[in-house]
Amino acid sequence: MSKIWQVYPLAPESFFSENSGFSPVMAQLLYNRDLKTEDEIEAFLDPGSTFHDPFLFRDMDGAVNLLIAKIKAGEKIVVYGDYDADGVTASAVLFETLKILKARVEVYLPDRVSEGYGLNREAIDQLISSGVKLAVTVDTGIRNKQEVAYAKERGLEIIITDHHTLPDSEDDLPDCLIINPADRRNQYPFRFLAGVGVSFKLASALVSRSKLSDEQKHYLLERLLDLVAIGTVADMVTLMGENRALVSRGLDVLNSTKRPGLLELIKVSKLDNLRRLESWNIGFQIGPRLNAASRMDHANNAFALLVCDDKTKAEVIAKDLNTRNSDRQKITEEAVGEARAQIDQQFAAGQKYFLAAISNQEKIWSEGIIGLVAGKICERYYRPTIVVTSTEDGFKGSGRSIEEFNLIEAIEEVAQNVDGLVGKYGGHPMACGFSVDSREKLDRFVVELEKIASRKLSNLNLVPKIKIEQEIPFSSVKEDLLAEISLFSPFGQHNPQPKFVSRGLKILEVFYMGVDSQHVKFRLADDSGFNLWAISFGGSSDYKQCEVGDFVDLAYFAEWNEFNGRREIQLKIIDLQKI
């Protein structure tokens, strides 16, 4: 599928003159990130390790006092987490902190399939029967008003720490202490922490009130930052503002971590030979292995790895997660193939603005992978997509969308227009989850979503868009440019690795690599003769029409390639178009 290249508008001349200490490329990158003032630019380029005061959360003081009271009374506390990488790291952060502060603490992570997201009554009953007096949620709970009320009726106190969007009305909030940066009633200045970031804030507040020495306090909080970095990157929250500071410092800690579990996870991910782990290693290698625990079995395995202090045990768990991640990749690809067969039939029947793939009874897709499948289908066809699997109670689905279509808004419209059609649902414009209790309702649900998508998308050009930072001369891709790019790391949401475009390049050489020649390298040159290698991993079939002597426009990342002691600039191809 062809792609539209969208180059950011050039910054005003006044911005370049006001920031003449930076190169034009660096100034443009700052402008693209809406960093306009001297203070904003300075904070971005030097994130440091100074974090906002946790007591700016309106209920932080009350939460700390309640926790201290429970610790002193010797009463059992449970950290109630979520099953994804953010929830598991958030659970580990608070668990370790409470353990060091001599609390009687345990962790409860719900099962992805049998319990689903958030608090549930069966779990609450189980916790109460085991003697728990206080439950502290991490990365979950902000929409569990009824469950919190039930827990309090039974004598279980609750503290909610979460980062997800609050209900529209304050009347729908749980009646308990709440620590959530998205809560506008706070004075806390940064609203976009991940669940693990909120957990770290509670840990920071607790440690600050402890009797530990200043040196011990600093050491305890510093050693938690590797977990904070992993959870923050894995949850794909913005990497601007305080998250940038947390991840920047957290990556330093991760690269010198002494945690047996993380060291073994890094090893099985084949990352132990890298000079330095970066945010993309978390997003594409470490995070998926932690998430594989709940997708394929239970998140308890991921949690156990993070808090494990025995190398032998850590090695066993890490290898298990690595195997489960490989299994997850295999069944995901199988399900993607089956889903694509359905989607291709739909396209063959006519133009489609909304895609739906539903597992059949002979081969039911795992609930743990349907979101991944939806993401791959959405990316390939550039249409809002839901992928649905059958369960004992009916059907569960997961959806992914494109920037032109607000998925959760569409589901809310269907739910309001057709009473009783959809069960529980939640999400945001680009992703959702939902349940439907019968095939008849599911079919109607899909039809209604198709109507909305057709209404909203039929006049649009639905092709993927690549947002390009700047068009630059090919000859400017030199060592000083890569040094400037490095100042913008760690990369992530709202601070992506810079993409550039250079035009009118001539192909001097073509070189295929890999067992099946699935990778391709081009040596490209501008009209001055300046030349570099550009590589596309897995892209040989996409660019097989390109031959020596052709002229092309190139969208790319500029990176260092280090191999066998050699270091040279190499371009990673994002898209290439013959001219």
pLDDT at 530 over 90: yes
Pick the closest to residue 236 from 225, 245, 247, 226 (CA basis): 247
Residue 228 sits at the vertex; the CA angle it makes with 83 and 482, to the nearest 5 degrees, is: 120
Hey, what amino acid is at 346? Q
Domains 4-42+466-578 and 351-457 share a fold: no
Is residue 568 pLDDT above 90, yes or no? Answer: yes
pLDDT confidence of 147, banded at 50, 70, 90?
Answer: very high
Share of the chain above pLDDT 70, in %: 100
Residues 6+ apart with CB under 8 A from 365: 335, 338, 359, 373, 387, 389
pLDDT bin (cut points 50, 70, 90) of residue 393 is confident
pLDDT for 292-344, tens place per residue? 999 999 999 999 999 999 999 999 999 999 999 999 999 999 999 999 999 99
Compute the distance between CA of residue 43 and CA of residue 32 in angstroms, rounded to an integer.
16
Whether 523 has a pLDDT exceeding 90, the answer reads yes
Between 352 and 475, the higher pLDDT residue: 475
Contact (Cβ atoms closer than 8 angstroms) between residue 400 and residue 380: no
Residue 370 near residue 389 (C-beta atoms within 8 A): yes
Averaged confidence pLDDT in the chain: 95
Could you give the C-alpha distances from 420 to 184, 412, 558, in angstroms and in order?
A: 32, 12, 52
Tell me the per-residue pLDDT of 19-35, one tens digit each, with 9 for 90 and over. 999 999 999 999 999 99
Region 535-561: mean pLDDT is 94
Residue 209 has pLDDT above 90, yes or no: yes
Q: Please state, in angstroms and rounded to a whole number, the distance separating the CA atoms of residues 577 and 573.
A: 11
Domain ranges of the chain: 4-42+466-578, 54-240, 351-457
Q: With cut-offs at 50, 70 and 90, classify the pLDDT of residue 235.
A: very high
User: Which of the two residues, 168 and 342, has the higher pLDDT score?
Assistant: 342
Instruction: Output the six-digit token pair for 63.
Output: 């939460």
What lies within 8 Å, CB to CB, of 346 at 6+ separation is 352, 355, 356
Amino acid at residue number 53: D
Average of pLDDT values for 125-154? 97
User: pLDDT at position 524, please?
Assistant: 98
**Total residue length of the chain:** 579
CATH for 54-240, options being 3.30.465.10, 3.40.50.150, 3.40.50.1970, 3.90.1640.30: 3.90.1640.30
Residues 110 and 249: beta-carbon distance below 8 Å: no
CA distance 511 to 9: 35
- Measured CA angle at 357 (ends 354, 363), to 5 deg: 180
Tell me the pLDDT tens digit for each residue of 375-385: 999 999 999 99
Pick the CATH number of 351-457 from 3.50.50.60, 3.40.190.10, 1.25.10.10, 3.10.310.30: 3.10.310.30
Per residue in 369-392, is it b (16+ CB within 10 Å) or e — as a string?
Answer: bbbbbbbbbbebbbbbbbbbbbee
Q: How many CA atoms, within 13 angstroms, populate the side-chain half-sphere of residue 23?
A: 14
Task: With beta carbons less than 8 A apart as the criterion, state whether 230 and 279 touch.
Answer: no
Say how far apart CA 252 and CA 485 lie, in whole Å.
18
Q: Which of 536, 513, 532 is nearest to 523 (CA)?
A: 532
Residue 509 pLDDT > 90, yes or no? yes
Instruction: Provide the whole-model pTM.
Output: 0.92
Residue that is written with structure tokens 């009824």 in the block: 146
Chain Cα centroid distance, residue 267: 22
Q: How far apart are CA 519 and CA 510, in angstroms?
A: 11
Rg of the chain, C-alpha, whole Å:
25
Amino acid 562: pLDDT = 84
pLDDT at position 426 is 80
**Separation between Cα atoms, residue 382 and residue 434, nearest integer Å:** 21
For residue 357, name the pLDDT band (cuts at 50, 70, 90). Answer: very high
> What DSSP character marks residue 489?
P
Does the pLDDT value for residue 116 go beyond 90? no
Task: Flag whether pLDDT at 443 surpasses 80.
Answer: yes
Q: What is the percent of the chain where pLDDT is above 90? A: 88
- Other C-beta atoms closer than 10 Å to the C-beta of 325 total 21
Residue 193 amino acid letter: L
For the domain made up of 4-42+466-578, the CATH class stated in words is: mainly beta
Q: Is 536 left (phi over 0), alpha (psi -120 to 50) or beta?
A: beta
551 close to 508: Cβ distance less than 8 angstroms: no
Q: In which band, very low, low, confident or very high, does the pLDDT at 1 lie, cut at 50, 70 and 90?
A: low
What's the rounded Cα separation, in Å, for the pair 107 and 99?
A: 11
d(C-alpha 54, C-alpha 573), whole Å: 43
pLDDT band at 424 (very low <50, low <70, confident <90, very high): confident
CA end-to-end distance (rounded Å), the chain: 17
